[in-house]
Chains A and B, each alone.
Chain A
Amino acid sequence: MIPPRILDINEWYILISALVILSVSVWIPRRLPVTHIITVLMFNFFLAVTADHILAAPPYDLYDIMDVPQFEYWDVFIYLFNYPPAAYLFVQIYETVDKRRFSPAKLIFLWAAGAWGLEWFSNLFNVYTYKGWSIWYSGPVYVAVFTVNYWFHRWLIQLRASSEPEK
Chain B
Amino acid sequence: MYDGMTLFVLAFIIICLCALGSLFRLAGKLHPLEIVNYLLFSGAVSQQIFSVISLNMGRIWFVEVSSVFWILELGRVIIFPSLLVWFIYGMLVWRKQPLKQIIFLAWWLLLSIGIEHAYPWLGLVEFRDWSALEIIVKELTRLGLVFTYVFLFRRLLRKEGSLA
Q: Is B33 an interface residue (CB 8 A)?
A: yes
How many Å from the CB of B39 to the closest CB on chain A?
Answer: 9
Of all A-B residue pairs in the complex, the 7 with the closest CB atoms, nearest first, are A59-B64, A46-B40, A71-B51, A46-B44, A49-B44, A159-B32, A70-B56
Query: Given contacts A43-B40, A71-B56, A159-B32, is CB(A35)–CB(B73) below 8 Å?
Result: no
- Residue contact B157 to A35, C-beta cutoff 8 Å: yes
Chain A residues near B159 (CB, 8 Å)?
Answer: 34
**Chain B 86-129 against A: per-residue CB contact (8 Å), 1 yes, 0 no?**
00000000000000000000000000000000000000000000
Chain B residues in contact with chain A, CB under 8 A?
31-33, 36-37, 40-41, 43-44, 47-48, 50-52, 55-56, 64-66, 69, 73, 77, 153, 156-157, 159-160, 162
Q: Is A57 an interface residue (CB 8 A)?
A: yes
Q: Is A114 an interface residue (CB 8 A)?
A: no
Cα–Cα, bound, A98→B36 (Å): 29
Main secondary structure, interface of A, reads helix
Q: Is A160 an interface residue (CB 8 A)?
A: yes
The closest CB in chain A to the CB of B161 belongs to: A165
Main secondary structure, interface of B, reads helix
Chain A residues in contact with chain B, CB under 8 A?
1-2, 33-36, 38-39, 42-43, 45-46, 49-50, 53-54, 57-60, 69-71, 76, 79, 156, 159-160, 162-164
- Residue contact A38 to B153, C-beta cutoff 8 Å: yes
Can you name 16 A-B residue pairings with CB atoms under 8 Å? A2-B56, A34-B156, A35-B33, A39-B33, A42-B41, A49-B47, A53-B73, A57-B55, A59-B64, A59-B66, A59-B69, A71-B48, A71-B56, A163-B33, A163-B162, A164-B162
How many Å from the CB of A27 to the closest CB on chain B?
Answer: 22
Query: Given contacts A159-B32, A163-B32, is CB(A58)–CB(B64) below 8 Å?
Result: yes
How many Å from the CB of B121 to the closest CB on chain A?
Answer: 22
Given A53-B73, A57-B55, A70-B56, 11 other A-B contacts at CB below 8 A?
A: A34-B160, A38-B153, A38-B156, A39-B36, A42-B40, A59-B66, A60-B69, A79-B44, A156-B33, A159-B36, A163-B33
- Residue contact A45 to B64, C-beta cutoff 8 Å: no
The closest CB in chain A to the CB of B40 belongs to: A46
How many Å from the CB of B153 to the closest CB on chain A?
Answer: 7
- Residue contact B51 to A35, C-beta cutoff 8 Å: no
How many Å from the CB of A156 to the closest CB on chain B?
Answer: 7
The closest CB in chain A to the CB of B149 belongs to: A42
